């Protein structure tokens, strides 16, 4: 079993960079789904929130990516914003589904008021999601740069 600090000899730097670029592209599409959801667009089941280790990037990052890149300083900087991003997306989804509002709160407000409040609250979390997303993208760019500068 290869040591995480020692890279296998079969690593292709351009292939690893391509995987990271593909992950960044997928991330941008995923962020657009959150924005669409807040705009009232219904999203399909395959765009619903998942745990950070269950998305395609998470599976790569915590699997083969860790074996290949886990020794790089910039690798670890991706984990926290990636996990936080999934948590914020889940929060937005739960708000838009009406979860988390008590029965009394629902009884005291009209349906229109509840919808307005729900989307306003989701938009607030969208700002957080965009900030975390930007942090994640910067961390991925730093990893790309470190890969380019490192002899794999």
82 touches 59 (CB < 8 A): no
What pLDDT does residue 40 have? 81
pLDDT band at 55 (very low <50, low <70, confident <90, very high): confident
Over range 79-107, report the average pLDDT. 78
Domains and CATH numbers, the chain: 13-147 (1.20.120)
The Cα 128–Cα 38 span in angstroms is 13
Over range 39-61, report the average pLDDT. 81
Let me know if 42 is exposed, middle or buried by CB neighbors in 10 A (0-12, 13-18, 19+). exposed
The Cα 121–Cα 50 span in angstroms is 21
Number of Cβ within 10 Å of residue 134's Cβ equals: 12
What pLDDT does residue 100 have? 55
Is the pLDDT at 104 greater than 80? The verdict is no
The Cα 149–Cα 69 span in angstroms is 13
Is the pLDDT at 9 greater than 70? The verdict is no
Is the pLDDT at 7 greater than 50? The verdict is no
Of residues 47, 24, 32, the one with CA closest to residue 130 = 32
- Is the pLDDT higher at 76 or at 99? 76
């Amino acid at each position: 079993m290869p040591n995480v600090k020692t890279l296998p000899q079969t690593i292709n730097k351009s292939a690893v960079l391509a995987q990271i670029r593909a992950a960044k592209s997928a991330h941008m599409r995923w962020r657009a789904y959150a924005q669409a959801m807040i705009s009232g667009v219904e999203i399909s089941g395959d765009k619903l929130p998942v745990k950070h280790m269950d998305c395609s990037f998470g599976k790569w990052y915590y699997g083969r990516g860790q074996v290949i890149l886990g020794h790089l300083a910039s690798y670890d900087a991706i984990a926290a914003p990636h996990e936080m991003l999934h948590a914020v997306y889940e929060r937005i989804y739960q708000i838009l589904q009406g979860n988390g509002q008590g029965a009394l709160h629902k009884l005291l407000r009209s349906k229109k008021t509840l919808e307005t409040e729900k989307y306003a609250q989701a938009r607030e979390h969208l700002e957080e999601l965009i900030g975390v997303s930007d942090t994640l993208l910067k961390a991925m760019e730093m990893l790309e740069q470190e890969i380019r500068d490192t002899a794999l």
